[in-house]
Chains A and B, each alone.
Chain A
């Protein structure tokens, strides 16, 4: 049991890293990685919402299966994740103002993030039980955070400060950086058979 959880965790952080190996959550990966601070905020917020969303959607999915309407998965998940993020935002504003201040900007951004929806759906398609699903989404969040930090580090050190040919400045060099990062993460792909 424990080993399978560890395997899931490592696999989500390194082998099946969401932005770099499965290409989910690319929008914030490219958009918010311009500084280490915002990358950290986004990474924590995504991890947080992923775990919460899985905690809420997994039982709901069992309900859908019970009524034999599993095909409604996508629309119901979007509904639940959106409501959940709203609820968490209100809750944090009241009881954890400090956390709200640091995550506040990022929370609405990830309401309809494909990585969050993706992790919920993949938990179901992989037939994970509740604990495995939670660990899987936590690992996915960590992997996303990890990739964001690497990307932000590279961008602040290299992309923004070095002399890049004019035609590559801005988005092109960011895409090239992401591609090279993604290539280097392919090195992990043989870790588990």
Chain B
């Protein structure tokens, strides 16, 4: 009997001392948390996917408290509904203006891009990449085996005629496809920029041209055509500064190979119905 009493008393005492220490510690070591943080955190879905670019929902809520100007619309899981609620808590505009989309920087269609071999192995880009850098003559381009398609949880990217094509309406810019692509072709950029360089080849002009008829050959004609100093050729590849670009499309007209594409013009192209539908609606 005595033993049982001692056991109970000792364990209860240890528990009690632990509880006291913890409750004091929570007072002493309390980190001041902004009152908005729990409200913001409650609105976020808690998927902790990292699609917003922060390490989980907690981190995004924290960043929003510190600087609301980073934007409420970064959560790809919650979408516009969550963005509106976050904006309500913070008392700011939802900021739908800075919508971003994934851009595939390759236009190496089956017709344009030459292949070196008939690849008949595991149907993933990362596997193909390990075999002599892929089956395409251009080692920078899209292999079209759909690693991005598998990575996308929003059904927004599809391989069409040997190249990945983004459905700009469905895309939430979570960046999963960009991470999955072994050639780093996919870039996340502002949706308002509809004139894009669809080539990733850093090979010299003649070499690039030989591998793909749609390749950027670094001729710098676009640099001359641009009135806003927005496009520059570096490492034999044109790059458009999204801040400076006014979507005039002059560079796309000037480009001798079709490496620069104006999404506005592309709605006439019959080959990509999924993509052409998107800009049409945006422009209308």
Query: Which A residues fall within an 8 A CB radius of B?
Result: 60, 63-64, 67-69, 72, 75-76, 79-80, 83, 86-87, 90-91, 93-95, 161, 163
Query: Which B residues fall within an 8 A CB radius of A?
Result: 3, 6-7, 10-11, 14-15, 18-19, 21-22, 25-26, 28-31, 122, 126-127, 130
Q: Are A80 and B6 in contact (CB under 8 A)?
A: no
A163 CB contacts on chain B under 8 angstroms? 122, 127
Q: Are A67 and B6 in contact (CB under 8 A)?
A: yes
Pairs of residues from A and B, 3 with the lowest C-beta to C-beta distance, nearest first: A83-B18, A94-B29, A90-B29
A76 CB contacts on chain B under 8 angstroms? 11, 14
A95 CB contacts on chain B under 8 angstroms? 29
Q: Are B29 and A68 in contact (CB under 8 A)?
A: no
Q: Are B14 and A90 in contact (CB under 8 A)?
A: no
- Tell which of B7, B15, B28 has the most Cβ of chain A within 10 Å: B7
Closest to A90 in B: B29
- Tell which of B10, B15, B26, B31 has the most Cβ of chain A within 10 Å: B10
B122 CB contacts on chain A under 8 angstroms? 163
Minimum Cβ distance to chain A for residue B114 (Å): 26
Q: Are B6 and A69 in contact (CB under 8 A)?
A: yes
A60 CB contacts on chain B under 8 angstroms? 14
Q: Are A83 and B3 in contact (CB under 8 A)?
A: no
Q: Are A68 and B3 in contact (CB under 8 A)?
A: yes
Closest to B29 in A: A94
Q: Are A75 and B25 in contact (CB under 8 A)?
A: no
Q: How far is the CA of A67 from the CA of B11 in the complex (A)?
A: 11
A86 CB contacts on chain B under 8 angstroms? 22
Q: Are B22 and A94 in contact (CB under 8 A)?
A: no
Closest to A163 in B: B122
Given contacts A79-B15, A90-B25, A163-B122, 11 further A-B contacts (CB under 8 A): A67-B6, A67-B10, A69-B6, A72-B10, A72-B11, A76-B11, A79-B11, A79-B14, A83-B21, A90-B29, A93-B31
Q: Can you list 7 A-B contacts with CB-CB less than 8 angstroms, sorted by A residue number?
A: A64-B10, A69-B10, A72-B11, A79-B15, A87-B21, A91-B25, A93-B29
Q: How far is the CA of A72 from the CA of B10 in the complex (A)?
A: 10
B6 CB contacts on chain A under 8 angstroms? 67-69
